[in-house]
Amino acid sequence: MIDLYFAPTPNGWKISIMLEECGLEYALKPVNLGRGDQFKPEFLTISPNNRMPAIVDHDAPGGALSIFESGAILVYLAEKSGQFLPSELHRRFGVLQWLFWQVGGLGPMAGQLSHFVNYAPGGAAAHDYSHTRYANEYDRLFAVMERSLDRNEYLAGDYSIADIATWPWVVPYKRFGQSMDAYPGVRRWFDAIKVRPAVQRGMDVGKDLRRPTGEMSEAQRRMMFGQTGASVRAAAQQSGDA
Ligand SMILES: N[C@@H](CCC(=O)N[C@@H](CS)C(=O)NCC(=O)O)C(=O)O
């Protein structure tokens, strides 16, 4: 059995969608980010970056295996299930380069854009330079996706973990003020993935855990956005692993 440490956000959905696509059994372990579950010592032993998603596969060869970082988890689940990551060299690296593009590019840029749209004090209008910077990057990355999707059905040819990683960060495009008008290939790809039954099941996971972004309390805001190196060091000292 696989334990999935999860909150209903784009990074969490990557893994709930993948588990549903692969038909792997899993137990949901909700991580309440506003309450600070990600800083609990027992979670930090699984995910030292104090972020979800993370998994523990109790049936891994050689003993229980814990993995943090969504890209590493997707590669692991693809290898475990033999799906969505080809073994042939050229096709495998075709997928891996788009996966790394997502975890190193689209994910962080969209994450920062989300911060300024959803959480920054005073809203995006109070942070014009930063908001514009990330909105432009998000738009640029749509144009990069279009370069592939105007000739390929999926980012790396066949449906793969690159699409599973990328799609959840395209889901909030309207809220992020992004249009698909100039990107017909991205729109076709987005609509094709949206109707996959496993994607719909993955998106429904932990629906009851969702809360509107406007309802974040000051304490939750501090928990999520007030962390520094000093607070991480203090937490490590408290749990005795410094
Ligand atoms: N690079 C990480 C990013 C994960 C991430 O940023 N998770 C966020 C939620 S979307 C989180 O757990 N945040 C908790 C915090 O910032 O304290 C991955 O791809 O897994």
| Ligand 1: nearest atom to the Cα of 31 | 12
Pick the closest to residue 15 from 89, 88, 82, 74 (CA basis): 74
Q: What is the pLDDT of residue 130?
A: 97
How far is CA 134 from its chain centroid?
A: 17
Pocket test for ligand 1, best of 4, 5, 11 (most atoms within 8 A of CB): 11
Pocket test for ligand 1, best of 51, 112, 164 (most atoms within 8 A of CB): 51
Is residue 51 helix, strand or coil?
Answer: coil
Pick the closest to residue 175 from 7, 10, 16, 33 (CA basis): 10
- Joined together, the tokens standing for residue 7 give 């909150």
Q: What is the pLDDT of residue 177?
A: 98
Place of tokens 């890209």: 71
- Between the CA of 62 and the centroid of ligand 1 the distance, in Å, is 28
CA–CA dist 235, 241 (Å, integer): 9
Alpha helices in the chain (DSSP H): 10-22, 41-44, 70-81, 89-101, 107-114, 128-149, 161-170, 184-194, 197-204, 218-225, 229-238
Phi, psi values for residue 40, rounded to 5°: -70, 140
Q: What is the pLDDT of residue 217?
A: 84
Residues 165 and 171 sit within 8 Å (Cβ to Cβ)? no
User: 49-59 burial by CB neighbour count: b if 16+ within 10 A, else e?
Assistant: ebbbbbbbbee
- Between the CA of 10 and the centroid of ligand 1 the distance, in Å, is 9
Which residues touch 213 (CB under 8 Å, ≥6 apart)?
Answer: 118, 119
Q: What is the pLDDT of residue 219?
A: 86
Ligand 1 pocket, Cβ-based, cut-off 6 angstroms: 9, 11, 33, 38, 50-53, 69-70, 103, 107, 224
Q: What is the pLDDT of residue 242?
A: 45
Residues 5 and 54 sit within 8 Å (Cβ to Cβ)? yes
Spell out the per-residue pLDDT of the chain, length 242, in tens. 999 999 999 999 999 999 999 999 999 999 999 999 999 999 999 999 999 999 999 999 999 999 999 999 999 999 999 999 999 999 999 999 999 999 999 999 999 999 999 999 999 999 999 999 999 999 999 999 999 999 999 999 999 999 999 999 999 999 999 999 999 999 999 999 999 999 999 999 999 888 766 677 888 888 888 889 998 888 778 776 54
Phi, psi values for residue 89, rounded to 5°: -50, -55
Q: What is the pLDDT of residue 50?
A: 95
Is residue 229 helix, strand or coil?
Answer: helix
**Topology of domain 2-83+212-238, CATH:** Glutaredoxin (3.40.30)
Is residue 234 helix, strand or coil?
Answer: helix
Q: Enumerate the CATH 3.40.30.10 domain ranges in the chain, comma separated.
A: 2-83+212-238
Inter-axis angle of helices 107-114 and 128-149, nearest 10: 140
Is residue 2 helix, strand or coil?
Answer: strand
Q: What is the pLDDT of residue 213?
A: 66
Q: Is the pTM of this model over 0.85?
A: yes
DSSP sequence for 26-43: EEEEE--TTTTGGGSHHH
CATH no. of 89-200: 1.20.1050.10
- Between the CA of 52 and the centroid of ligand 1 the distance, in Å, is 5
Pocket test for ligand 1, best of 52, 171, 209 (most atoms within 8 A of CB): 52
Residues 193 and 162 sit within 8 Å (Cβ to Cβ)? no
Q: Enumerate the CATH 1.20.1050.10 domain ranges in the chain, comma separated.
A: 89-200
